[in-house]
Amino acid sequence: MTISETAGAGAPAQRSSRGRLDGKVAVVTGGGSGIGRSVVDRYVAEGARVVVLERDAQGAEELATHGDRVRVVVGDVREHETHARVVEEAVRVFGRLDVHLGNAGVYDYNERIERMPPEELSAAFGEVMDTNVLGLLLGARAAIPELRRTGGTLIFTASSSSTFAGGGGALYVASKHAVAGLVKQLAHELAPEIRVNAVAPGATRTALSGVAPLDSGSRRLADETGLLGAIERTVPLGFVSEPEDHSGIYVMLADHRDSRFMTGVMIASDGGLGVGRRPRRGDRGGI
């Protein structure tokens, strides 16, 4: 049976308008909030059907507004069995899998190494690394057989902290640098069948949380007005982004027609951090 014959299996009637992702099926981890939620909304608007893996029950419930175009599995990205269930759900309900986005993540709230209680360091390291790195590896491992079948693609949410220091503490920056390594290595291993790319956002107004061992499990980035204000003053484009500012890039990476010669790439969407801090008014630069 060809790919196009299987495309509609178990699906609701196709919508009449054409979207860039019509007929595609995607998995999005952490799709109940922030950047992931905005990708889910945009993928659906472009005609895709989506299975979301989300640990937060409320975020999962709110996805019901998408009706039968979105299925949700409530679970943890740190568990292999959960990823296997998500991929099975995509194939059972929607007939295939074209795009797997590893996006769920946690932050360390810029905790400096000297301020981390040494007895909590292993637990904090485990939570950040297991969520931000192992979670992506487990998702990729579960998705690869189906992506090989469809000539699909892996996408990760990296960060400006995949390139620069100072946007997080040692745990977050190390975890996001590891994501940059995963993009390169998996692109190398999985070519030519599966493309592997990432979007690297800079500061974005979301509910991004910290981790319990650093006492930041209930913090939300969007509430940190001091931190966000400082970022606005230094980022070259002069504002903190909203989740929707990045979602079109995820569409491009999911759409073979627009990115079929791209693999192993991390696309920055960070307000221009690569050109340095925004000069102050009257500051003519120089050394």
Are the C-beta atoms of 39 and 62 separated by less than 8 Å? no
Burial of 208 (0-12, 13-18, 19+ CB in 10 A): buried
Element (H, E) at 82: helix 80-89
Strand residue runs (E) in the chain: 25-29, 49-54, 70-74, 99-102, 153-157, 195-201, 265-269
The question of whether 172 is a catalytic residue gets the answer yes
Beta-carbon contacts of 45 under 8 Å, excluding residues fewer than 6 positions away, are 19
Are the C-beta atoms of 55 and 31 separated by less than 8 Å? no
Residues that bind ligand NAD (CB under 6 A): 30, 32-36, 53-56, 59, 76-78, 103-106, 131, 157, 159, 201, 203-204, 206-209, 221
Element (H, E) at 119: helix 118-129
**Catalytic site residues?**
172
